[in-house]
Structures are given as structure tokens and as C-alpha cells.
Structure 1
Amino acid sequence: MQREKGRVDFGRRVLTLRRKRVAMRFDRRSVIVCAVLALAVVGVSVLALMTGSYQLSVAQVVSALTGGESGLVHDIVLTWRLPRVAAALVFGAALGVSGAMFQSLLRNPLADPGIIGFSQGSYTGALIVILVINGSYLELVGGALLGGMATAVAVYVLAYRRGARGFRLIVVGIGVSAMLGSLNTWLILKADLDVAMSAAAWGAGSLNGVSWDRVVIGGAVIAVLLVLAGMLSRPMRQLELGDDAAASQGVRVTAVRLGVIIVGVALTATVTAASGPIAFISLVAPQIARRLARTGGITLAPAACVGALLCVVADYIAQHAAPTPLPVGTITVVLGGGYLGWLLFREARRRL
């Protein structure tokens, strides 16, 4: 960073907004990337609203969204298709931000809530609520949050040895995730057949049957969590420099790390309670966003946009690329599994 003629050179073009004594600085390339991704999200969303057993035109979709349609077209767009598309956008953005927070905190591209067990823990908590008390959606959110937080505490304690290093957390998390996966399978096998089949289908990560109630409640919770994530963004980036360097800049390291874990787990738990665990978006979205924005670290806004785009695209493929609709989790597993294999191969070649 250099200062020339009263201006600060950050090495990249930035956009600065000033309002009285408040100034906000945005990376120019990140803003452009987010704008392009937003246009892509809008395009895929409109396509998803048009496509189905009853085909609609762009004009019909736009008219229905603006209140100009009634009857069958209105019901198809606003009652049947729009909740699913809105859920894909909101939940995808939440998963993208959650993955970005954990990858930034642990400074490792493999730090995905699904891989390190937090998603499985949330699924276990929600599964207990479904099978034992047949709870409401709010009870599902509570169960998923408690399960995810309990798993986070267990992974942190088991990985702690003169500090909790990122690689050790990931390895312990993989083991805990495998154990929780076995527990979830056992719970389903012991449950009543009808409930077990429903829980197993939901566990694949599905947006089938998502209602406006879940979208509104989940969206409200996610909106609050995204605001908290934005507040943690700057100290989180400072933590990437190391604990000592961050502390020297006035960052409360322990409090920030705890806040990142709580918000990240809460984002994952909210999505899991609404749609089941949707795998690999938390892993893939932050890395794609970082490469598109060409930033030195993980940034939240591009990760949210990429997560929303990946989820809505995966759901569109799940609905229309097979003879029968599939859970969106089956598509994200295929896409994310391929990306994970490429990432492991790339990291292995780098260390040779």
C-alpha cells in the first residue's frame, strides 16, 4: 500500500463511498463479479420459473411477479415454483458464506462444514427432532443448531493440543462426521418405516415441498446471520495474518473466532433444518469466488453470490435433467465431488 499525492494505492482498484464522517471501500473487481453473478442468478431463476410440465413465457413470469397475472399462471409461478427458487437462492447464499467463514478461519480450502462434521451434527440434531418428537420447523432449527454447535465443540476439544490448528481440526472433523453418519443411519433404521423413508429422502438435501413458511422464517434468520457475518468480515480477514498479528492490530482473537464458529454453524443449521444437508456448496463456492474476484483471501459477498448461483443451477438440473425430480443434494454431490477430487490432486502436485 502506497500513498501518492494524498491518495492511497491499495494495489487494486477500489470504489470508495463517503457519507459525512463514514467511508466505505469496496474492491472494484469484486463488485463487478458480484454484479455479473447476480445477473446470472436472475437469468437462471427466470428460466426455472418458466420451465416445468406447464411451460410459461418470460412475459407471463414477469407479469405474474409484478401482479399482472391471476388464475393458473399466478398459482404456478408464485405458489408452486417461486418458493423453491427463493429457497435455492437464500440457502445457497447462506452455505456459500458459511463455507467462506470456515475456510478463512482455518486458512484451508478443505474447511467445509460438511467435511469437518458440522453439517452432519446439524442433521443429527434435526433428525432426532423429526424421529422423536415430530417437531415443527422452529424446533427443527433449534435441534439442528444444538447438534451443529455440540459437534463444533466436540471437534474443537478433540483437536485441541496447544492450540487448535486448521489441519488437525479438519482431520478430527472428518472422523467425527463419519461417526455421526453411522449414527444417523442407525436412527433411520430404528424408526418407523414411513417416518424413516421421509427422513432419508430429506437427508439427501431436497427442496421438494419447501413452503413459503420455511422460506420466510429461514430467510429472516439467515438475513440476521449474514449481517453478523458482515460485521465479522474485517476481523476475520485480519485473523488470516495469524493470531499474533491480528492481536497486535486490536482484534480480540478468541471472541472473533468464537463468533465466526457460531455464525457459520448457525447458517449451516438453518439450511439443514429447512432442506436437509446440501453438500459441497460450502466447499466449492468460496474457492470459485476467490478465483473470479482474484482476491488474496476469502471474501463473503462473492462467495454468497456463487453459492446462490450453484444452488439454483443444481436444483434446476435436479428438476429437469432426469425423468423424475431428484433431490438437489444428489447434483451438488456430483459437482462438488469432482471439484474436491481436482482440489486434492492440485494440492498434492503443489507439494511434490
Structure 2
Amino acid sequence: MTINNSDTITAGYRQRKLRWVSVTVILGILTFTLCVTALLLGNTIYSPEIVLKVLLGEQIQGATFAVGTLRLPRMLSGLLVGMAFGIAGSTFQTMLRNPLASPDIIGISSGSSAAAVFCILVLKLSGTFVSIAAVIAGITVAALIYALSRGGSFSGGKLILIGIGVQAMLNAVISYLLLRASQYDVPGALIWLSGSLNGVRLSRIPLLFIVVAAFGLVIFLLGRHLKILELGEQSAVTLGVRTDLTRLLLILSAVFLIAFATAVTGPVSFVAFLAGPIAARLVGIGAPNELPSGLIGSILVLGADLIGQFAFDTRFPVGIITGILGAPYLLYLLIRMNRTGGSA
């Protein structure tokens, strides 16, 4: 009996594609469910009919303010920020072939945080000014890390080590600023540092949506090249990929996603770190990981926000909950890498 290799390959491709589509649809349904839940739940629970009327512009006493002013911006920011963190984290991890290569770990988020804390505590600024400073600082720190890692030839391991060093330095700056600040100013900075969806205004959503859509699309279009980069520098060059240009576009896109998301909600811990590995486990090896990672990021942020609001007597910012979820995985990953000699 002769085995047709072409049929086997075609069947395997179809199976992988079906798995990707099935997982993505399920993640999309779960994300939509969490979005609806975030609009329904609060101090007052509204029916889907009332929420829909408010979203369509009808004025309903109490519901218009609660849903339109408080819950809708919170839900949309959680959805978009989670997607930005998820896509950016997965991009770095895939491109650098290391699960530790997350913006949380390599200092990009810390750059935005240091700038925001400086603005809040030293310059006494708030709102838009803090967001602008956070975006500029995140991009600047990412450019510095990339430039330092370019000495000689590019190395993902070098970039990660430099990023960890920069993160340690920036965290020290943040600690110094907190210690030197007035006790009346510190709570505002700590709330921002914890990563929170509280107080997000609807006016900030359109720009965030444009950034996530534009740079997410760039990463999605470069997804095939991203998978080739995962094979290594020499293999990518052999297959015709312009590695420097592709890597630069991917890094810039991911950094813009991280910087703008952090500017809106603060550094929501471990979402970028967790989303990629979870999505990879679900869709399987070799499958496109960008969209599933973005959906996982949204699920993590929206789910953690609901847990932080309603699961405890005290309400916790979303970053506290995601930090509790992410810290054990980081420890597990470090132990696993230590046992396997540095390979995850």
C-alpha cells in the first residue's frame, strides 16, 4: 500500500487550519461574552435590553451614566489594551525565540512607567500629559535597548539581557521617586503603576483603537516573516527575508502597541508575558499566533478586571489580579529553563 505524501501534508494542513479557526472563534465568543458581562454588571445590574438602548443613544436615568460613562470606556479599554499587550508580547517572544522576551521583562513598560511617575510626582501633571510622556519614554527606551543590542550583530539573547538591566535601572528610578515624593502624591502614582481601568474616559478610546488596528495589522501582515525569523537568522536570510527591515518593523509596531496601551491604563502586569504562550498551546505549533494572542490578552484583562471588582470585599486594580496569575508562571518558566539548560 502506497502512502501519498501530498495527501498526508494536505490533510495535516487542513487539520491545523481547522484547529486555528475553531480556537479563534471560541476565543472570540469568550471575549464577546466578557465584554457583555462588563457592561451588565456593577453596583446595579442592568438587563441586556437596557444596555442596548443606552448604547443606541437612548437616555435612561441612571443607566446612561453607569453604562455609557463608566462601564463602556472601561470595557473598551480592557478589550483594546489586552489585545495590544497580547499581540506585542507574542511578537517579541516569537521573534526573539524566548518566552522571557516580553515587554514586561525587558524594560519597555518600565520606561513608560518611569516617565509617568516622574510627571505625576515631580512635574505634578496628569491626564493627557502623563500619557504623552509615557508613550515617548516607552519608544525611547525600546530604541535604546535595540541600539545597544545591535553592537556587532543582532542577538536576541543580548537584547533580553540589556532589557533586563535597563528595567532594573528604571525600577530603581521609580522607587527613588516614590521615596522622595510627598505622601499625598504617592497614591496616585501607585494606582497608575498597578495598572488600572478606573477612570478611563471614552475620549481616549478612538486613538487607542486606531493604534491597535494599524500596528496590529502590520504585525499580522508580517506574520509569515515572523515565523521564518523564529527559525533563526541564517535560515531567514536563506529564505529571502530582509531580516533587519522586518525585525525593525515588528519591533516598532510592538513598541507602539505597548506604549499606547500603557499610557491609557498603566503597566498591566504579565498580560504580554502570558498571552503568547497560552495562545501557542491552544492553536498548536506553526500556526499563526497573532490574533489568538490578542484575544487571550483581552480575555485576561477583562476577566481579571471582573475578578478584581466583584470577587473580593475590596476592589483591586486589574494589574494586581494579572500579577497574581503571572508570577507563578514566571517562576515555573525560570525553573524549567534552569533544568533544561536555558531552553523553554
335-344 or 149-158, which moves further after superposition?
A: 149-158
Q: How does 1:143-182 map to 2 (within 5 A)?
A: 143-160=133-150, 162-182=152-172
Counterpart AA for 2:156: G
Which residue, out of 267, 270, 285, partners 1:280? 270
Structure 1: tracts of 5 or more residues without a match: 15-25
Aligned twin of 1:218: 208
Structure with the bigger RCO (C-alpha within 8 Å, sep 6+) is: 2
| SS class of match (1:346) | helix
- Check the 8 A contact 1:145/1:265 in 2, yes or no: no
Change (3 A) 1:149 1:74: closer
Question: How much has 1:267 moved relative to structure 2?
Answer: 0.8
Aligned twin of 1:257: 247
Counterpart AA for 2:86: G
Change (3 A) 1:34 1:297: closer
Aligned twin of 1:266: 256
Aligned twin of 2:13: 12
Counterpart AA for 1:9: T
Q: State the alpha-carbon separation in 1 of the partners of residues 334 and 263 from structure 2.
A: 30
Q: Please, what TM-score do these two structures have when normalized by structure 2?
A: 0.89
Aligned twin of 1:22: none
Aligned twin of 2:285: 295
Counterpart AA for 2:290: L
Deviations 1:224-255 (A, max 9, x none): 22122223222222211222222233321111
Which residue, out of 288, 306, 314, partners 2:304? 314
Deviations 1:161-183 (A, max 9, x none): 54232233222222211110110
Q: State the alpha-carbon separation in 2 of the partners of residues 181 and 297 from structure 1.
A: 36
Question: How much has 1:299 moved relative to structure 2?
Answer: 1.3
| SS class of match (1:13) | helix
26-35 or 315-324, which moves further after superposition?
A: 26-35
Question: How much has 1:275 moved relative to structure 2?
Answer: 0.9
Q: State the alpha-carbon separation in 1 of the partners of residues 315 and 47 from structure 2.
A: 22
Question: How much has 1:283 moved relative to structure 2?
Answer: 0.6
Counterpart AA for 2:218: L
Q: State the alpha-carbon separation in 2 of the partners of residues 38 and 82 from structure 1.
A: 18
Counterpart AA for 2:202: W
Q: Do structure 1's residue 330 and structure 2's residue 331 form an aligned pair? A: no
Aligned twin of 2:85: 95
Q: State the alpha-carbon separation in 1 of the partners of residues 256 and 134 from structure 2.
A: 8
Q: State the alpha-carbon separation in 2 of the partners of residues 141 and 263 from structure 1.
A: 18
Q: State the alpha-carbon separation in 1 of the partners of residues 169 and 43 from structure 2.
A: 41
Q: State the alpha-carbon separation in 1 of the partners of residues 329 and 302 from structure 2.
A: 18
Change (3 A) 1:9 1:30: same
Q: State the alpha-carbon separation in 1 of the partners of residues 40 and 148 from structure 2.
A: 49
Aligned twin of 2:195: 205
Q: Do structure 1's residue 108 and structure 2's residue 108 form an aligned pair? A: no
Root-mean-square deviation (Å): 2.6
Q: Do structure 1's residue 72 and structure 2's residue 59 form an aligned pair? A: no
Aligned twin of 2:222: 232
Q: State the alpha-carbon separation in 2 of the partners of residues 286 and 78 from structure 1.
A: 32
- Check the 8 A contact 2:20/2:287 in 1, yes or no: no
Aligned length: 339
Q: Which has the larger strand fraction?
A: 1
Q: Do structure 1's residue 47 and structure 2's residue 37 form an aligned pair? A: yes
Question: How much has 1:277 moved relative to structure 2?
Answer: 0.6
Q: State the alpha-carbon separation in 2 of the partners of residues 251 and 293 from structure 1.
A: 25
Q: Do structure 1's residue 305 and structure 2's residue 295 form an aligned pair? A: yes
Aligned twin of 1:185: 175
- Taking every aligned residue pair, what percent have the same amino acid on both sides? 36
Q: Please, what TM-score do these two structures have when normalized by structure 1?
A: 0.87
Question: How much has 1:280 moved relative to structure 2?
Answer: 0.4
Q: State the alpha-carbon separation in 2 of the partners of residues 35 and 337 from structure 1.
A: 28
Question: How much has 1:329 moved relative to structure 2?
Answer: 0.7
Change (3 A) 1:325 1:244: same
Deviations 1:43-68 (A, max 9, x none): 22222222221122344334433456
Change (3 A) 1:156 1:68: closer
Q: State the alpha-carbon separation in 2 of the partners of residues 116 and 256 from structure 1.
A: 20
Q: State the alpha-carbon separation in 2 of the partners of residues 139 and 30 from structure 1.
A: 41
Aligned twin of 1:86: 76
84-93 or 289-298, which moves further after superposition?
A: 289-298
Question: How much has 1:138 moved relative to structure 2?
Answer: 5.0
- Check the 8 A contact 1:60/1:69 in 2, yes or no: no
